[in-house]
Amino acid sequence: MIYLTGVLGNTIIITSVIIDTHLHTPMYILLCNLSSVDIIFNSSTVPKLMDILLSGKDSISFVQCFIQLFFYMFAASTEDILLSLMAYDRYVAVCEPLHYHLIMHKKKYVLFLLGTWISGCANSLFLTFSIYNLDLCPSNKMQHFFCDIKALEKITCSHTQFYILLYLESVILGLFPFLLSLTSYIKIILIILRIRSAGGRWKAFSTCTSHLAVLILFYGVALCMYVKPPSGHYEKQDLLEEQDLVLSTLFSAVTPMLNPIVYSLRNEEVKLAIKKIITLK
């Protein structure tokens, strides 16, 4: 149900943005791309999990494992960059409203989107091939439901190289986009606080609430998953491994499902476009 809800919800948003010409603006084009990424995100891990649960066959080939890792990291990297780009778009809309169409013109945001997808793909290829070339220990068992970086880290013998790779990844594709999003929202809040009327402040902030909710959800779960020390450093290893599984499920399955729900519930224009499609008007 989680998988079907996520795929259906994101497909409806993509269809709404494509069909409704009123939504052919940078904000909704970015949202359409976010929904596309979420479908890849969901489909890279959940179908294999469903196969494991239904068939009881909990094995995966070496090549299939790294193909899954590639698509998972491709979706995660692309969404990370895309969310920071959406934060920049909201900053321009709130802080430079009169120059919005001059700054976020079609050629510029198309180049931004091309750069986002290419960067996500290049990063995933680099990471996948780097881990593929590391030495793995004799153990071929992972306490996980998909081929995640943390799961592969537990069976690799090249821990030093792996941690260097992981820290570089965290700084380049984690810290920089996060700082861009954070800076954008700090400036947005400072501008909103200067607005005298409460109604004006809420109107300005309401354009960012959906994206801010998605941003907090994405980074909140990601930080809980990847920033904490490895579970092998604790006495209650089994409990922490179970927590890793729960957080991984939230990150790879529940978050892509919630994103379209958050945007459709909080955005009147999206709701109107969906109603038009449903009523065939």
Report d(CA 135, CA 17) in Å as an integer: 46
DSSP string, 75-89: HHHHHHHHHHHHHHH
Query: What pLDDT shows up at residue 36?
Result: 94
Task: Give DSSP secondary structure letters for 53-76.
Answer: HHH------HHHHHHHHHHHHHHH
Task: Tell me if 10 sits within 8 A of 35, measured CB to CB.
Answer: yes
222 Cα distance to chain centroid = 9
pTM (2 decimals)? 0.87
Greatest Cα pair distance in the chain = 66
The DSSP-derived string for 200-221 is HHHHHHHTTHHHHHHHHHHHHH
Q: What is the DSSP code (8-state) at residue 155?
A: T
| CB distance 190 to 91 below 8 Å | no
pLDDT of residue 273: 76
List per-residue pLDDT tens for the chain, 281 residues long. 889 988 998 998 898 888 888 888 888 899 899 999 999 998 998 888 888 888 888 888 888 888 999 999 999 999 999 999 999 998 998 888 888 888 888 888 899 999 999 999 999 998 888 888 877 776 677 777 888 887 777 777 766 777 777 777 777 777 888 889 889 889 888 888 888 777 777 877 777 877 888 888 888 887 777 666 554 444 555 666 677 778 788 888 888 888 888 877 667 777 777 777 777 65
